[in-house]
């Protein structure tokens, strides 16, 4: 075991969905990397523990057959796994202060939710993308050290289109990391 393998274990086990749930910028500081891409690529995107968890979740849903996790067909022949509203809401609320009404309204409007047998189901890919790849406006303001009014100028200047779910504004994490790279 080398010191580098300990660093890799620390970062892998403490990335967003595991352990201490550190964001890539926090991992960057703790590992003393200069570039966000290095941390994001090596410890978040290619995180073997997260990939295994995702694969296991997909396999379990596919094995369950005709219950509420059954695949739902969306546009054309593309199959998209779905999850029940309670599971989707708990995953999203773990990261963002979103109400169930706001999430349902946004997802219905943007075709990420469907109602079957009186229950709502959400696109697994959408929920996973939202949790993994978006940050709140407040987090951006804190990391960039900018005011709320300056945030809108910053977003317009960088051609970033935040999404709004209820009262929560979200910005793609990639836009924030790209902005840090450019500055």
Which tens digit of pLDDT belongs to each residue from 13-67?
A: 776 555 666 766 677 788 888 776 677 666 655 566 666 666 676 666 666 654 3
**CA–CA dist 173, 1 (Å, integer):** 33
- Is residue 5 domain-shared with residue 28, that is, in the same domain? yes
165 part of a folded domain: no
pLDDT at 49: 64
Same domain (yes/no): 72, 50? no
Total Cβ atoms within 10 A of residue 5: 9
Residue 86 to residue 21: CA distance in whole angstroms: 22
Of the pLDDT bands very low, low, confident and very high (cuts 50, 70, 90), residue 176 is: confident
68-113 pLDDT tens trace: 334 343 333 234 478 888 888 888 888 889 999 999 999 999 888 8
Alpha-carbon distance 51 to 12, whole Å? 11
Token pair for residue 174?
Answer: 């990639």
Count of beta carbons in the 10 Å neighbourhood of residue 168: 21
Rg (CA), the chain: 18
- Percentage of the chain exceeding pLDDT 70: 69
Higher pLDDT, 162 or 3: 162
Q: Which of 51, 144, 50 is nearest to 160 (CA)?
A: 144
Domain boundary residue, one of 81, 96, 123? 123
Q: Report the pLDDT averaged over residues 122-140.
A: 87
Q: What is the pTM of this model?
A: 0.54
Of 60 and 138, the one with more pLDDT: 138
Of the residues 14, 33, 63, the one at which a domain ends? 63
Pair (53, 1) in one structural domain: yes
CA–CA gap between residue 169 and residue 83 (Å, rounded): 23
Residue 177 has pLDDT above 80, yes or no: no
pLDDT of res. 38: 72
Q: Compute the average pLDDT of residues 139-163.
A: 84
In a domain, 160, yes or no: no
Alpha helices in 32-147 (DSSP H): 36-39, 48-63, 85-93, 100-109, 124-133, 137-144
């Amino acid at each position: 075991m080398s010191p580098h393998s300990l660093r890799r274990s620390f970062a892998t086990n403490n990335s967003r969905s595991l352990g201490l749930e550190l964001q890539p910028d926090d991992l960057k500081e703790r590992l003393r990397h200069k570039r966000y891409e290095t941390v994001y690529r090596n410890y978040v995107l290619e995180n073997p523990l997260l990939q295994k968890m995702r694969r296991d979740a997909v396999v379990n849903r596919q094995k369950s057959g005709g219950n509420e996790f059954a695949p739902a067909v969306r546009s054309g022949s593309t199959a998209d796994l779905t999850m029940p509203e309670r599971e989707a809401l708990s995953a999203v609320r773990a990261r963002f202060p979103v109400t169930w009404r706001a999430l349902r309204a946004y997802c219905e409007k943007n075709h990420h939710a469907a109602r079957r047998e009186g229950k709502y189901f959400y696109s697994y890919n959408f929920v996973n993308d939202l949790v993994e790849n978006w940050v709140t406006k407040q987090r951006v303001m804190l990391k960039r050290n900018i005011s709320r009014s300056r945030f809108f100028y910053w977003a317009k200047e960088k051609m970033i289109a935040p999404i709004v779910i209820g009262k929560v504004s979200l910005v793609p994490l990639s836009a924030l990391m790209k902005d840090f790279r450019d500055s």
